[in-house]
Amino acid sequence: LGVRSIGVEGDVSDPAHVQALFDRAVAELGSVDILANVAGGVLRPAERGRADTMDLDDYRFIMDINLTGTILCSQAAVAVMKKKRWGRIVSLSSQAGVKGGTFAVHYAIAKAGVAHFTRCLAAEVGPHGITVNCLAPAFVNTSRALAQFPERRKLAAEIPLRRLGEPEDVAKAVEFFVTDLGDYVTGQCLAVCGGVVLSPT
């Protein structure tokens, strides 16, 4: 695409890895203007995620990759952004974090935490010219999600827009938040879900 990029492998739940990532980004690219917290997922068996019998190791892992990573990366980004008094942070929450249910409760708790952390951080860093928002997608048509949950293909008929979301649908919402289109929007959690948020269950 004609832009310069670097790849850094690491663990977003490890403070040392996160700091090394941001140190390298600043050293090689000059600054950090935009942070998109997109690491995470339901990467443990969902059936072990019931509220009354939740596996503790699964819970800690899911919280780390979805919530702790978001917090650590956001803190590292803010430290850089404050120096130039400008920055944009967008994180991925989920409809699972908005609506109650029995599916992968550890994941739902983590994503609810992402949304609340977003609001708290936005209040703190707004005076520094930094906006912080998050997205709450529902059923997005990704290869990993379809491999893990093949039944997802059948859900389109239950979504008001009658289709699964595409990665581009989420990307467009991220673009809104990180460009001048979203300059006066902060502390928000936007449902990018085709209307799933309208469902009572």
CB of 146 closer than 8 Å to CB of 114: no
Positive or negative, the CA dihedral 120, 67, 89, 97 is: negative
* Tokens 């068996």 sit on residue: 45
Identified catalytic residue from 59, 107, 117, 139: 107
Q: What are phi and psi of 65, to 5 degrees?
A: -75, -25
Higher pLDDT, 125 or 201: 125
Q: Is 184 a catalytic residue?
A: no
Cα–chain center distance at 14: 17
Q: What per-residue confidence (pLDDT) applies to 148?
A: 80
Number of neighbouring beta carbons within 10 Å of residue 52: 6
Q: Beta partners for 191?
A: 136
**Residue pLDDT, tens place only, 46-79:** 889 999 999 999 999 999 999 999 999 999 999 9
Name 41's Cβ contacts closer than 8 Å, sequence gap at least 6.
Answer: 65, 66, 107, 144, 145
pLDDT bracket for residue 109 (50, 70, 90): very high
Higher pLDDT, 146 or 187: 187
Higher pLDDT, 18 or 148: 18
